[in-house]
Amino acid sequence: MLAAEKKKARSDVLGTRLFTDIVPFTVFYPAEDYHQKYHLKRHGELAGSYEAIYPDPEDFVRSTAVARVNGYAGGYGLASQLKEEIDLLGLSEKGRAVLLKLVR
């Protein structure tokens, strides 16, 4: 199990026993609303593009397009990747311009 190996390696580096239990995943809890799509929400034009498409907050949070753009807005992803998929993301023209400016 990777987690146990990482725990042991960290314990060895620190020279002390770590008391963190490693347990099987059983339940997933989504982050609070203010954490959802944090990077995207910092850019009003990007958020506005999707809030118009997904007026229901649950649909907004679950959208893979919103997740992709949030990642790009957070500095993850390459400009070359974005150019390949930007037409599929459903952004307004202003939203596209903002995202292309963010991802260089």
pLDDT in tens, 25-84: 899 888 888 889 999 999 999 999 898 899 998 899 999 999 999 999 999 999 999 999
* pTM, 2 dp: 0.73
pLDDT tens string 7-22:
999 999 999 999 999 9
Domain that holds residue 16: 2-102
Number of structural domains in the chain:
1
CATH number at residue 68: 3.30.1060.10
Q: Considering only CA atoms, which of 95, 79, 83 is closest in space to residue 43?
A: 95
Longest dimension (CA), the chain: 55
